[in-house]
Structure 1
Amino acid sequence: MTPAASALGWIGRQSSPLFFVAVFAGVLLPPLARLLQPLLLPAILLPFVVALVRLDLAALGRQARRPWLALGLVLWSLVGCPFLVALVLQSLPLDPDIAALLVTTAACAPLMASGALALLLGLDVALALLVVVPATALVPFTVPPLALGLAGIAIDLPAAALALRLALMVLGSAALAALVRRWLGPERLVTARPGLDGLAVLGFVVFAVGVMDGFTMTALARPALVGGIVVAVFALNLGLQAITVLALLPFLPLRTALTAGLVAGNNNLGLILAAVIDTAPPAMLIFVATAQFPIYLLPIVQR
């Protein structure tokens, strides 16, 4: 095993402490966050590419024999969640920009690295990927109308342009993963898994640090605003997880219900930010940074 492979394997095994360190490193070290900010796009796509490369086609095939569950979760994640959140927020006195971002977050596909999180938590990786992959593929068609229409988010970018950017990101990731799988082959793919896990964690870490660019200054200048967003994003994540698990628990095993909750509560707003980074409003930049706290910290607690 090469030193690089050993290092990546070690990184993959240290996911929990690295998640904790990463989410605060960007806050405490603003120059580091500024340095890594240009790497947001590759960092957020890397775990998705790794998940596709590591895809267990046999397990995926077994899950596909009962497609109603995965298809139902895709529909719930992309359509049901944003409409439910929009309905709940109508009765709450929230800032319109924050409310729009909460609805947009709920409309996003599950986190591209949901498979990695499911693996970390001992949940159903195949089910998570069976939801994440088609949901992410549909994002170019569902998020633009929901974000710009239902949520009313202010992005200086036409819906068609946003859809095209998202489609290029998703299709490019899938093509790269297919090339890597073909290059590695079945045998080397098995031995490369620890290193691939390390790459996924590395992507997580770089994104968590880089997305905090500007967060510390805003938190010091407007602590009430940032504190409110922290409460809102934790409530959104935990609320969607809890509602999904409780709704499915009477019909499905606990492990399956928890996996469904994981993909429903951890949404990939970072992908949308990466697509509109050049036109994103300041509120969105701070919101996406703050939204990383539940994504990175809750799995440590849940584990």
Structure 2
Amino acid sequence: MALNRLFANLVLAPTIISRRAVHVTAFHFASKPNIEKPKPGFGKSYRRIVHFTDEYTVKPLEVTNLAGRDPVTGRVVAKGIGGGIKHKYHWIDWVRDGPTEGPPQEEKVIQIMEDGCRTAHIALVAVGEKLKYILATENMKPGQILKSSRELPRIPVRANEGDAYILGALPAGTLVHCIEKEPGQGGLYIHAAGTFGTILRKQDDRVIVQMPSKRQFSFNQYCMAVVGRLSNVDHGDTPIGSPQRNRWLGNRPRSGLWKRKDGRHGRKIKPPKPVKLITNPEKHPLPPIQMTMNP
């Protein structure tokens, strides 16, 4: 439409716009089409694409690193992503299911390992003849027996770390993670290393949980949750240490044109203040007061 309007103006006023202006304008329209640039977020990751199989498997999955680019157009969408050590993806089974009545289901921990695609450690668990990956808790060890149940008992359950129960079965003050949004959907909330939520109270058929952000969420009492704090607690307190390790983690550096210590908004380097002498003040005697009778 804009190009047609331009040529219409040329017909009406040929002396105003030169042929060079028309050529430049047509060149810009041809070389810069109106492409809607996608925005990061909304559940779409521009860091990697995981090639999932049709059926669940504990075999490490192949990964295609995107380096912050859109997989269709190839345009840079998310800045600050690039490089990084190539990791295989371990498929986590988010659904911790169990019987609705009777004794709980038992699961045995086979191995605890690190996962390069997430911050928390993962655990290989055996359930009957099936193997699956779950998020490991802070003190989880190989050989540990975990329990999971969807039964709502009359008395709250005293669960151990790593056990999975519905929120209505756990007492107030219990630390939980991997909380379901709706019953049966699988753990959706609280996945990061060292994080946990706290069960505060119960309101009718709802359970109030304080999230790591200190916000309070109200869940259905039949939503499943895993007891305990997630593993790799020191992840947030561990310094990166070097720019090279930051590249290993997949973080692309800034342009280098901005310096922290220079410029208007940079950190101002001021000379240190002089040494302050800390002494105990000496007690000087008060001068004598001479009183006379003269006015």
Q: State TM-score, norm by structure 2.
A: 0.22
Structure with the largest fraction of helix: 1
Greater RCO, CA 8 A, separation 6+: 1
Larger strand fraction of residues: 2
Which has the greater radius of gyration?
Answer: 2
What TM-score do you get using the length of structure 1 for normalisation? Answer: 0.22
